[in-house]
């Protein structure tokens, strides 16, 4: 079970990282979501894996660690807020740059006009 779980987290992380390294905003956002899935699962599993041990007092005999669950819940909410923001920001960037490349227009990297040279120019 643990190996399986670790593999899942590994795959989610790898996929998220790969997507975040893409050049367009949409895959990056998808990658961030994927990475946050990985992180949430990871943080959740710091309390170790338990079956049928939900931390609801009185329902079972042994309880799993409730703290990571609370942390993950917080992380999910925050992650949602952040994802929402970055999605909207990606839209803004698309609207402003006319392109959904994460660096703006393709010609974004081209050097700007040479109007800023030194004092030599008079």
Binding to other proteins (CB under 8 A): which residues in 25-84? 25-60, 63-84
# of chain residues touching other proteins (CB under 8 A): 110
Q: What gap in Å lies between CA 83 and CA 33, rounded to an integer?
A: 7
Query: Least distance in Å: CB of 114 to other proteins?
Result: 10
Kindly give the interhelix angle for 66-97 and 25-45, rounded to the nearest 10 degrees: 170
Check binding of 89 to other proteins (CB under 8 A): yes
Q: For residue 80, what are the CA distances in angstroms to 3, 5, 32, 40, 116?
A: 28, 23, 11, 12, 43
Check binding of 116 to other proteins (CB under 8 A): yes
Query: Least distance in Å: CB of 95 to other proteins?
Result: 5
Residue 40 · residue 79 · CB < 8 Å? yes
Query: Least distance in Å: CB of 89 to other proteins?
Result: 5
Check binding of 107 to other proteins (CB under 8 A): no
């Amino acid at each position: 079970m643990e190996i399986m779980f670790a593999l899942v987290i590994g795959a989610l992380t790898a996929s998220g990282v790969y997507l975040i390294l893409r050049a367009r905003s949409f895959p990056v956002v998808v990658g961030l979501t994927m990475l946050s899935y990985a992180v949430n699962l990871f943080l959740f599993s710091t309390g170790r894996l338990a079956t049928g041990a939900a931390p609801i007092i009185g329902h079972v005999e042994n309880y799993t660690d409730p703290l990571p669950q609370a942390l993950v819940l917080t992380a999910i909410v925050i992650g949602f807020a952040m994802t929402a923001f970055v999605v909207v920001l990606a839209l803004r960037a698309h609207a402003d740059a006319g392109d959904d490349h994460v660096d703006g227009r393709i010609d974004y990297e081209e050097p700007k006009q040479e109007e800023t040279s030194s004092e030599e120019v008079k």
